[in-house]
Amino acid sequence: MLAINTAFMTANLAIKTAKGQVVLKDIDAKSKHSENVLKTIDQMCQEANVNILDLKTVAVVVGPGSFTGLRIGTAIAKALGAVNKDLKFVSISSLSLMAYIASKKNIVSDEFYCVLNALSDLYFVCKFSKDGNKLEEEKMISREEYDKITQKKVALVGDLKFEDLIEIEISGQDLLDYALLLENEKKFVKEQDLLPVYLRLSQAEDMLSKKTKKDC
């Protein structure tokens, strides 16, 4: 199993071999994921004494999150699938991963929301049960809608500057544990369905859309 999370500033990578050896790596937020993720995965395979082509499953966080980061993670997974036709894929929602961590660490006792900063006073959110089960579809909301949420809100450390938050961090072990859980539940997806979840247009796409509407 190879698990990849490049959705946020700090990337998490995890490998678990058939013999049970685990290798975990976090790539610092100051590093460029596009330049360092593949290099780090290669180093991890060497450390685990495993050939990357021998991996049975690749789990990747598909978003929402960083546009560039999501493309990097899914592109790596698909590249591995191109050279290993027996590879299985697990698609991980970043908000569901956060909910899993919150539930596992018993920091919520009732229904709650996981929240990510989508910038420009917009927020990616999803509602979960206290056990971390998704109750609604992921969506993007405005600040006004955010302020109307009465349930507890779980966010990443430093991502938002509000006082009503429960902050968590994502570790490589958390990523691996959740990926293995989904693998055991056979939550596999086809390679063509392993797509980034954006929930909003990129800045460039948004500007182009506004320009097109203005010209019309």
- Condensed to tens digits (0 to 9), the pLDDT of residues 64-114 reads 999 999 999 999 999 999 999 999 999 999 999 999 999 999 999 999 999
Domain presence at residue 87 = yes
Between CA 160 and CA 167 the distance in angstroms is 9
Residue 56: which CATH number? 3.30.420.40
Mean pLDDT across 45-51 = 95
At residue 207 the predicted structure's pLDDT band, cuts being 50, 70 and 90, is: very low
pLDDT at 192: 93
Are 26 and 113 within one domain? no
Provide, rounded to the nearest whole percent, the portion of the chain with pLDDT above 90: 83
Domain contains 16: yes
| Mean pLDDT of all residues in 161-190 | 96
Do 190 and 175 lie in one domain? The reply is: yes
Q: Could you tell me which of 165, 177, 194, 191 has the C-alpha nearest to residue 61?
A: 194
Structural domain containing residue 11: 2-93+170-209
Does one domain contain both 99 and 201?
no
- Looking at the fold, whether 79 and 21 belong to one and the same domain comes out as yes
Runs of H (alpha helix) within 89-202? 94-104, 143-147, 172-184
116-142: average pLDDT: 96
pLDDT band at 205 (very low <50, low <70, confident <90, very high): very low
Average pLDDT over residues 187-211: 73
| One domain for residues 59 and 126 | no
The answer, yes or no, to whether residue 209 has pLDDT greater than 50, is: no
pLDDT surpasses 90 at 42: yes
Find all residues with CB under 8 Å of 11, minimum gap 6, and list them.
4, 5, 26, 27, 31, 33, 36, 37, 69
109 part of a folded domain? yes
pTM: 0.91
Mean pLDDT across the chain, nearest whole number?
A: 91
Same domain for 8 and 39? yes
- Confirm whether 40 is domain-assigned: yes
117 with 158, same domain: the answer is yes
